[in-house]
Amino acid sequence: MGYIDAHTHIVFRETITEELMNFAMREWGAPREAILMSVKDVAKALDETNIDYVCVMAFPARKLGTVKEDYAIRVIDAVKDYADRFAVIGGVEANELSIEETRYWLERQYEAGISAIKVHPPHMWLKPNAYRPEEGGLRQLELVYQFAEDHGLPVYIHTGTSAFSRARNKYGDPIFVDDVAVDFPRLTIIMSHVGRPNWVPTAFQLIRIRPNIIADLSSIPPRRVLEYLPRLTEIGDKAIYGSDYPGPGVHDIKANLREFLNIPIPREVMKKIVDDNPRKVLKPLSRNR
């Protein structure tokens, strides 16, 4: 059985920028060798780890001082010779762009082959439901969700805190995702990190009751998954594995997967989480447009 890692922040030597390098070493604490791997080296590491493909976060983060909307396209260009090993996750900073700019970058990223869109409220400094009239009526964000729904793209939404120095953690409460689930019922929402550590009960309940929300278990140390989610098997059909590699505290993609596979849950549930479920909602570049 090959596995899917549905949430990584792999940075390739071919696409690294000075700003991104400085950020990764300062905020992630990632070793230099984990940041400067070539696409070929990463593909080899996946072979050794028995991972079929990984999802690479390539969304913009102006407020963190890293990358903009063109980054996802540059990553896609860099990995095109290994299109079956990577799914690239794009995005736009809706509160930094005009309606026209938002539409332009969504269309360009979609044409290039993104597999999903990422919305990161603590890093983008906005609520996931900021498009609602009572929350400010940010039409650009509504366009993001509508575009994703119309084009069959899942949307990752970060929930829970972020330790990065410029993160605004008040935006990490998963309760705001509920509006998105209700207003866009055909949209697949991947709730990243399940609200850890502050809001796990809220996140778990929303995953249970909203048919279009699934759980992304990344950045929770595998040894603590059942501490955070003792009823994990109840959402076994709606959960996917992710490592968050090489983010804070995750400096070995193989070791993280191995530790996760040792979680004491039924093997049929484990297979759904690390294999069946992510394949249903996230496709590698080779299977996109």
How far apart CA 173 and CA 8 sit, in angstroms, is 22
Residue 160 phi/psi, 5° resolution?
95, 180
Which domains, ranges and CATH numbers included, belong to the chain?
Answer: 3-287 (3.20.20.140)
Could you report the per-residue pLDDT of 81-137, keeping only the tens digit for each? Answer: 999 999 999 999 999 999 999 999 999 999 999 999 999 999 999 999 999 999 999
Structure tokens at 193: 């990190």
* CA distances, 72 to each of 11, 60, 79, 200, 234 (Å): 11, 8, 11, 30, 34
Whether the predicted pLDDT of 153 surpasses 80 = yes
Q: Which amino acid is at 143?
A: L
How far apart CA 24 and CA 96 sit, in angstroms, is 23
Could you report the per-residue pLDDT of 159-210, keeping only the tens digit for each? Answer: 999 999 999 999 999 999 999 999 999 999 999 999 999 999 999 999 999 9
Whether the predicted pLDDT of 24 surpasses 90 = no
* CA distances, 243 to each of 61, 248, 255 (Å): 20, 11, 10
Question: Residue 1 — pLDDT band, cuts 50, 70, 90?
Answer: low
Angle between helix axes 99-112 and 139-150 (nearest 10 degrees) is 30
